[in-house]
């Protein structure tokens, strides 16, 4: 049996920092894609849903402007 891919393990802890939020965002974005492969949503509509799912993340609550900048950067970087 192969070992689990550490990049695919569910996030167990929430870190109140930009890196923690970036990891949570990517996980939520990819989880949505896996759970709804034929969603047909425009990128901005999907982004809204993903951010709503992260509404309780402490970094997003504490630094919403920086979190938005991080999301935009991450989306460009990863081609979301």
Mean pLDDT of 29-45: 95
φ/ψ region of 40 (left if φ > 0, alpha if ψ in -120 to 50, else beta) reads left
Structure tokens at 18: 């930009």
Provide the pLDDT confidence category of residue 12 given band limits of 50, 70 and 90.
Answer: low
Identify the CA nearest to 66 among candidates 21, 26, 28, 27.
21
Amino acid 13: pLDDT = 81
Residue-level pLDDT at 22? 97
| pLDDT score at 1 | 45
Average pLDDT over residues 28-55: 96
The answer to whether 67 touches 59, Cβ cutoff 8 Å, is yes
| Mean pLDDT across the chain | 89
- State yes or no: pLDDT of 28 exceeds 80: yes
């Amino acid at each position: 049996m192969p070992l689990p891919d550490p990049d695919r393990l569910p996030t167990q802890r929430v870190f109140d920092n930009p890196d923690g939020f970036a990891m949570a965002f990517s996980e939520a974005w990819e989880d949505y894609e896996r759970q709804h492969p034929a969603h047909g949503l425009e990128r901005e509509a999907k982004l809204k849903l993903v951010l709503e799912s992260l509404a309780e993340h402490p970094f997003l609550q504490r630094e919403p402007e920086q979190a938005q900048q991080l999301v935009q950067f991450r989306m460009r970087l990863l081609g979301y």
